[in-house]
Amino acid sequence: MATIADNLQAVRDQIARAARAMGRDAEKITLLAVSKTHPAQRVLAAVDAGQRAFGENYVQEAVRKMDAIAEARGPQIALEWHLIGPLQSNKTRAVAERFDWVQTIDREKIAARLSEQRAATRAPLNVLVQVNVSGEASKSGVAPESALALAQAVARLPRLRLRGLMTIPEPTDDVALQRSRFRRLRELLEVARAGGLALDTLSMGMSDDMEAAIAEGATMVRIGTAIFGARQTTRSMT
């Protein structure tokens, strides 16, 4: 049976091949290992295989894992934790205190709370505006027409650092459709940059559509199943 270390290597190879096919530098693509529902023990296996950036969807579950990992490997291992699930306003304080990135900003109110609650002694919280590029099929994310205004508002918040955009398109095997959704996000990033925002991150692509995302310019892919295997839970992803 393939180990988590084997799976990680296979995913890194897949990213490198997809980048090379487009004449892109694979070093510019961050692999975010999505560990939601998987126990700390499996996250540790990925840490021991060199993985440092992890994505989690549920705040309490993530905090438990952060504590277990710090306990097991010591606080000197610097991991980067990304919240990639929807964020409710009663959870913002724990997120501002424990996470390094929040990829699911789709309301100014939540962003403002995170900014207020991020300690001045910490680096600013990195954030992405989540855009719903596939319309009504997916419920989270701001509409593409409203993304620029939200990005401009978020960029003004003092304790946040707006890094770019994120999307979760509807699942489809149609590669042309996958690419058109990802292209939409890249075009929005270009518009935001032209409008003066210094953005460097396009978070798009999961286990089943990462090639299309890399072809359209992803700088971060969020990979769960291909690293950790199938999730055991029936909990909904969004």
Ligand X SMILES: *Cc1c(COP(=O)(O)O)cnc(C)c1O
Looking at 65-73, 91-99, 190-198, 218-226, which segment touches ligand X (CB under 6 A)? 218-226
In degrees and rounded to multiples of 5, residue 170 shows phi and psi of: -65, 145
Determine which residue in the list 96, 129, 206, 215 makes contact with ligand X, applying CB under 6 A. Answer: 206
Determine which residue in the list 15, 29, 150, 168 makes contact with ligand X, applying CB under 6 A. Answer: 168
**CB neighbours of residue 59 within 10 Å:** 20
Rounded least distance, CB 160 to ligand X, Å: 19
Tell me: does residue 225 bind ligand X (CB under 6 A): yes
Q: Among candidates 190, 225, 210, which has minimal Cα distance to 26? A: 210
Rounded least distance, CB 10 to ligand X, Å: 13
Q: Among candidates 219, 174, 222, which has minimal Cα distance to 199? A: 219
Tell me: does residue 172 bind ligand X (CB under 6 A): no
Spatial contact of 119 and 97, defined as CB atoms under 8 Å apart: yes
Q: Which is nearer to ligand X, 60 or 225 (CB)?
A: 225
Determine which residue in the list 127, 199, 218, 223 makes contact with ligand X, applying CB under 6 A. Answer: 223
Tell me: does residue 207 bind ligand X (CB under 6 A): yes
| Sequence-ordered list of residues with C-beta below 8 angstroms from that of 208, at least 6 positions apart, any chain | 171, 225
Rounded least distance, CB 158 to ligand X, Å: 27
Give residue number: closest CB to ligand X: 224
Residues 58-97 that bind ligand X (CB under 6 A): 84
CA distance 28 to 178: 21
Rounded least distance, CB 196 to ligand X, Å: 28
Tell me: does residue 113 bind ligand X (CB under 6 A): no
Q: Which is nearer to ligand X, 165 or 206 (CB)?
A: 206
Q: Is 67 left (phi over 0), alpha (psi -120 to 50) or beta?
A: alpha
Tell me: does residue 144 bind ligand X (CB under 6 A): no
Spatial contact of 152 and 111, defined as CB atoms under 8 Å apart: no
CA distance 21 to 78: 32
Radius of gyration (Cα) for the chain, nearest Å? 17
Which residues in this chain contact ligand X in the complex, by CB under 6 A? Answer: 34, 36, 57, 84, 168, 206-208, 222-226, 237
